[in-house]
Structure 1
């Protein structure tokens, strides 16, 4: 009997030792984590808290252990520990305030079940302010990644015309070198698209790509943005100074758009970057080394700018290492179908539409236009056309295309009307003294007359050719009193 008691005693002692070892191990784990943790037993009394809990709530083991979990609730609400003990179910993401400082936290509590019996609960408590900080930090990182990444690649450049093929081939070769690139072309031709693609295909693609519009800032602001400044360099300057964009773009690429408007003072500083690979901050004296690939762009003739004294000749030759000419849209009309279909797909994504394509009659209208705003203007027209369509319509029709008339086109129409016909009813039209509405009316009138002549005065065929309803056709005929001015039949 005595031996049996001793055996049971040894067994109980071993179990106690084992439980203590388990509890000690559990406590070590809980204490080692940076998450605030509290543990209560089946009676709802605190048995364990860790240092992170004390840091978060301001409550020590002396304040908490052996006491109800309501001890740490600042607003007198329900304890999540007690709720879990009552229901046997975990709770997640509960916001509450804890401790003397009423710290805002998010609480997750899980039941502790041993052999099917509820033995207590464990709470993990997260600081809301820390979560907010981490979310903000994540957004900053995301923004930095967006800033680092070039938006476009060569696959995004649409065009199979000879001019575009040559431009893309030159840009691809340029991407494999660290040489300075000069992108030349009218506004809206896609110079920034090429700059992004060159950076993306270069060895610098894991570093910064920074775009600077040289015409968007006054001279003094542009200087401090590009080259940075030392503390106290001017009124309102940060005491610690500020890095410029050339320093930010170190080991990466800086894209200087509209380089032709830069002042001669800044041109001298830019020349130093190109020649010496260094900058001097505003208000500073010591040079700062920078390793930056410069891509510049212009829509003006830089040779003329040199002749007129608006551009330094030495800077011109530093910029003109790899010149790439991007043709205007009017010089690559064969790319129009590709561009239009690509822009339709983009508009479908942007506006949640399902437009299949464009009818030949509508495409012909686009092909007949000179596109002074180039691809940027075409994108605007396609977006407006898609928006103008009914949800049931699948193809862009002539009626969906907004009026393609501007002062550039008016000049062409004026030349065409006046050059070869003194006997037309518009020969005496004073182009200089009429506003845009009168010019548009005249253009519409000419279009109606030409269409009537081509259909031998057939009203139905004329309306169909112009892409308007018969009712609208008769309204315009009456509006312009066309038959009294010009006999169409």
Structure 2
């Protein structure tokens, strides 16, 4: 072992110390540096290595001195002071030698690992392998070869193949240089198929030979078993084809070997679809009972599943086929229950889990091409890439929840919980327990052990607070604390619980006005309004009405089992004339009702199918008033007059006017241009 004295405790000395410490052939006797705070000295003390400010006392106990200060004067001083037999190595030279040594060790380690991997591969393969060198001596004898021949590798490696294994012909392959392929040999207790190939060097000279051989005794046995199965199959076919119950039979590998006509009538799958295919080929929903029977050798009964392209609901009974105690396959009897089974719909999972939802929608589900809407989508995509709180603002039905889902699904929290809470749906006391949870005994009826609130359940994920503008003031204060301090206190508790929640809030309320009226906290407003996104109403994005309507037609085609192709230009024009106070939600309702009115022979929605007369004050085609103005003209006139009044009050200040109107400045400019208001 080489004893090393390291002079210099800076970065270079530290790197050398770490390298030498990991090398078994090197022992660092001491680390020397004038600076007691040098990093290498601290590391040396941690590892139990001596440290000092003077190197001279250590000359007698070392073989090599590494000068790692980089100071020429220090190098010369050590060189003049070192005793004979002690080698002085500059730091850069030591680093080079160390690098070469490390690379050598890594190369040796890599070659050893590769050899182990090769041995593992050769010994794990089912095929037996044997190789000889140019002299005919055995150099490779894997585990499969040992099993087939009954010989141990230790006995045969290095011996002459033709002596140790008399029936080997590798010595002949060495002589002739000719391959021998697909040779059948009888070794007494087993039969093998072998391939023998010469091994040549880069000059084409034969330098060895290799044989790969496989036991085919089992194949002969399998051939006999298949013959037996065919006999059984012939016997069963007459019985199976006569029954009215659907029957399928698979072999012990789970491949279909027999079905009857009743099976084809039930599933819609013929012999070409099933025979020779895996047992799962007919399953639309559920797991293969054939595979379960083959694995357990036990019958199963009364298992519900859906089969065939039509997803027919069935009950399956399956049993193993045993011949003389040997498993030959599985037979299944399938009973059609689709016409008699009465299904009970499961309660809405969102209600059962207290409005807990998985985020179902992404930005690809959001439809819209108008500039204002595209801008909102772009802003939402940007918000998704940050942990900032998002405030979604817009009228009812503009898609705020859709945006919340999409933001969560594109954020780094997409694989964690997404929980929605409608703040307007609870009383103040109940809302607090839902948001923050409660401790055991907090109130009459409190669950034993207490209950987590949605802030805890959503920790690591996203909490969507819908209708945030309807929060009572006391609850607003607690939500403000949760956002600021990232911790909550359960109802009836005193312990602060840390939470990591991304907040997305939504409201149709004019929060600025609510602040002035004392109904909303200004500090909470600033916490929520970090990334405001305003969703324009549908009346301001008329170019999106047609693509939205077509999307709803596709949706209701699936829901209602219809094949409506779309809307006529007249119907689209009529929809675009309407002001849509209920926004996209109202458009979806109108399209759904129109789909119901479309006859089964009709493939297009026309104006006659639109629910004109039952929409009351919001009808699409209102009766013209006496002054012959359309509803849109009346709405535009009223909107124009109100905007003009607000502008007059604020002396033309656009920012203040937009704030009072509860819209964005960009939206205000759009309305000024649309309504012809002189700014």
The answer on whether the counterparts of 2:357 and 2:420 sit within 8 Å (CA) in structure 1 is no
1:275: Cα distance to partner?
0.4
Confirm or deny: 8 A CA contact 2:419 2:458 kept in the other structure.
Answer: yes
Provide the secondary structure at the position in 2 that maps to 1:347: helix
For 1:218-297, what aligned pairs fall within 5 Å after superposition? 218-297=427-506
**Structure 1 counterpart of 2:520, from 311, 315, 323:** 311
Higher helix share: 1
Unaligned runs of 5+ in 1: 1-89, 96-105, 124-138, 422-489
Residue 206 of structure 1 deviates from its aligned partner by 0.2
1:110 aligned onto 2:303: no
Q: Alpha-carbon deviations, 1:209-238, whole Å to 9, x = none?
A: 000001111111111000000000000001
Alignment of 1:2-21 (within 5 A): none
Q: Cα deviations across residues 314-352 of structure 1 (Å, max 9, x unaligned)? A: 000001000000011100001111111111111111111
1:92 corresponds in structure 2 to 299
Alpha-carbon distance in structure 1 between the residues aligned to 2:397 and 2:432? 26
2:398 equivalent to 1:214: no
CA distance in 2, matches of 1:358, 1:352: 17
| 1:174 corresponds to | 383
Residue 153 of structure 1, aligned match among 359, 362, 368: 362
2:401 corresponds in structure 1 to 192
How far, CA to CA, are the matches of 2:506 and 2:410 in structure 1? 18
Inter-partner Cα distance in structure 2 for 1:401 and 1:411: 8
Contiguous gaps of at least 5 residues in structure 2:
1-296, 303-315, 331-347, 630-679
1:31-110 equivalences under 5 Å are 92-94=299-301, 110=320
Cα separation, partners in 2 of 1:270 and 1:404, compared to 1, 3 Å: farther
Q: Give me the whole-angstrom Cα distance separating, in 2, the residues matched to 1:119 and 1:165.
A: 68
Specify whether residues 276 and 353 from structure 1 end up closer, same or farther in structure 2 by C-alpha distance, changes over 3 A only. same
The structure with the largest strand share of the pair is 2
Once residues 301 and 621 of structure 2 are traced to their aligned partners in structure 1, the CA distance between those partners, rounded to angstroms, is 70
The C-alpha deviation readout for 1:361-409, integer Å capped at 9, x for no partner, is 1111111111111110100110111111111111101110002665654
1:355 counterpart (553, 564, 568): 564
Query: Shift in Å at residue 122 of structure 1?
Result: 13
Is the contact made by 2:397 and 2:583 (CA closer than 8 Å) also made in structure 1?
yes
Return the alpha-carbon distance in structure 2 between the equivalents of residues 406 and 285 of structure 1: 53
Q: Deviations over 1:128-179 (max 9, x none)?
A: xxxxxxxxxxx99xx99x9663110001010000111000000000000000
Is the CA contact 2:574–2:620 (under 8 Å) kept in the aligned structure 1?
A: no
Q: How does 1:133-144 map onto structure 2 within 5 Å? A: none
TM-score scaled by structure 2? Answer: 0.42
Q: Deviations over 1:24-62 (max 9, x none)?
A: xxxxxxxxxxxxxxxxxxxxxxxxxxxxxxxxxxxxxxx
Residues 471-486 of structure 1 correspond to what in structure 2 (within 5 A)? none
1:396 paired to 2:605: yes
What is the CA–CA distance in structure 2 between the aligned matches of 1:170 and 1:347, rounded to whole Å? 30
Q: Is the 8 A contact 1:369 1:404 kept in 2?
A: no
* TM-score calculated relative to the size of structure 1: 0.57
Counterpart CA distance in 1 for 2:626 and 2:500 is: 57
Q: Deviations over 1:245-291 (max 9, x none)?
A: 00000000010000001000000000001100000000000110000
Task: Specify which structure has the bigger relative contact order, considering alpha-carbon pairs within 8 angstroms and separated by 6 or more residues.
Answer: 1
Structure showing greater radius of gyration is 2
Question: CA-to-partner distance for each residue in 1:49-101, whole Å, 9 max, x for gaps?
Answer: xxxxxxxxxxxxxxxxxxxxxxxxxxxxxxxxxxxxxxxxx873237xxxxxx
* Aligned match of 1:417: 625
Aligned partner of 1:62 in structure 2 is none
**Quick one: structure 1 residues 214 and 207, their matched pair in 2 at CA, closer, same or farther if it must change by over 3 Å?**
same
Find the residue that maps to 1:417 and give its secondary structure: coil
